[in-house]
Amino acid sequence: MRANRRNEKMFFVVCIQAASLLLIASTVASTNDTMIINVPEGKALTGFGECSAIVMQYFYKKFQIGLLYLPAPSGIYRTVSGLSCAFYHATPLVYRLSFEGEYRIPETGSVFQLEFMYDDNLLRNNDRLVSNDGHDPSYYVPTHWHPLSAHAHHEICIHSEIVHLLRGIHLIDVGFRLFDVSFPNSSFSVSRVALTIELIQYNPNVNHGLPMITPGAPIG
């Protein structure tokens, strides 16, 4: 976020296969206090009569600011401060998202879910998006269950996801939701989080098998 940009640790680099050209993404605008990164478009390179499958790869990494604390269960996912990323690209891109962080489990136990968010939408079955409004009609079983224990403890959480998004502006976030199943008096906190985003532009002749995901209304 713009007010905290001096406190953010981040880096990015663009790699183009079989070429010595290095491109740096530039900021084109801002929305909701989040920078919009303009992702350079690569060009398909041909060598020895064959076309390269991957035209461009772009890496971006951000770190959490502060601490995410969830004092009570909620139907809406809360985002992790400092991880919001907004990208603009003129061609469809494959997003490979990787999350790693440390969470604290209280003595009372905890049931929670971690999700990547696309324009405040949640991915379901890797082919559709639902709004983060607490009214998801699909039955969704949380993946992180922690029973009662003699004392609080910390654990490492790792999560990854791959999606194929249309051209345009897309806002990426990481969200957590605390469930009230079995442990209604639970709480939850997340710290030391790192989010890595790899953007991949494939040659249009390559069939990578990923369905095209259309997020909600564009931001900006």
Question: For residue 71, is it within any domain?
Answer: yes
- In the chain, the amino acid numbered 1 is M
Report pLDDT digits (tens) over 17-57. 322 222 333 333 444 568 899 998 877 655 544 557 888 88
Task: State pLDDT tens for residues 186-217.
Answer: 677 889 999 999 999 988 877 888 888 865 43
Is 183 within the bounds of a domain? yes
- Cα–Cα distance, 79 to 54 (Å, whole number): 31
DSSP labels, 57-95: EEEEEEE--S-EEE-S--SSPEEPTT--EEEEESS-EEE
Number of domains the chain contains: 1
Q: How far apart are CA 73 and CA 75, in angstroms?
A: 7
- For 76, other C-beta atoms within 10 Å of its C-beta total 12
Domain membership flag for residue 218: no
- What pTM did the predictor assign? 0.76
* 35 within some domain: yes
Note whether residue 46 is domain-resident.
yes
Residue of higher predicted confidence among 13 and 155: 155
Number of residues that this document lists for the chain: 220
